[in-house]
Structure 1
């Protein structure tokens, strides 16, 4: 095997496919949010960091859903956009009126979508 082939093989094993990467990112965001919820001491930097990471992740998903090059059906793309909008509204609500119970829907959505991406629905 050539050096290039070996390097590609190692890289592909490390990075995985796009669905796996998306699932892992969603689980990371869910874990951060769950940690904030479990260790609630009021709004703090950890909460804002977790919300920012989750919001950025869903902004990426929304942008991808809106892209003309997206291969998914309009229905799937619309569902992703609708979930993204809900996540954004829930995030703003959490920032304006912090309450750890408001994190549950965000955590649940991330875990459910991650399970679907990983084929564990």
Structure 2
């Protein structure tokens, strides 16, 4: 089986059995791993910066949109915190795109990892 097809099959299997919180945690960890890989192997993997930032931005767009919808039953304070985190992440991403430096990625990795740990009940 082609490597990409194997990865897709593995992801499909995880998503079919995972709770929404587990899925969100898994996706945040995947985004963190992509960013960390670029950071750790800079400049050799600097070409992967754009795709890693795009993946993270898309993920956070979905998370913030979903969390802040009126029908979402999260408490208002949590909705606001998620929205503020999303704004920070979008601003930091833009900053990195304008002035790419590997040390700027650390905060994005940390946020994703800590949110994922909280979602998985390890925070």
- Do the two structures share a fold, i.e. TM-score over 0.5? yes
Q: CA deviation at 1:51?
A: 0.2
Q: For residue 34 of structure 1, report the CA deviation from its aligned partner.
A: 0.3
Alpha-carbon separation, structure 1, partners of 2:50 and 2:34: 10
Task: State the distance in 2 between where 1:17 and 1:43 align.
Answer: 33
Structure 2 residue aligned with 1:87: 89
Which of residues 68, 71, 76 is equivalent to 2:70?
Answer: 68
Unaligned runs of 5+ in 1: 1-10
Aligned to 2:10: none
- Aligned-partner Cα distance in 2 for 1:37–1:49: 13
Which residue of structure 1 lines up, in the alignment, with residue 117 of structure 2?
Answer: 115
Q: Which one of 90, 102, 118 corresponds to residue 104 of structure 2? A: 102
Aligned to 2:6: none
Larger Rg: 1 or 2?
1
RMSD of aligned C-alpha atoms? 1.8
Between the aligned partners of 1:76 and 1:37, the Cα distance in structure 2 is 30
What is the number of residues matched between the two proteins?
A: 111
SS at match of 1:71: coil
TM-score between the two structures when normalised by the length of structure 2: 0.84
CA distance in 2 between counterparts of 1:41 and 1:110 reads 22
